[in-house]
Structure 1
Amino acid sequence: MHAGRTPAELAREFGCTAQSIINWVGQAAADAVHPLPGKDVLTTVERAELSRLRRQVKQLQMERDILAKATAWFAARGEKMSTPSSS
Structure 2
Amino acid sequence: MGLKRTDEFRADAVRIALTSGLTRKQVADDLGVGMSTLNTWTTAHRDTNVVSKDDLELAQENDRLRRENRLLKEEREILKKGEAIFRHWSEDNGRTSSLRA
Q: What is the TM-score of this pair, normalised by structure 1?
A: 0.49
* Greater share of residues in helix: 2
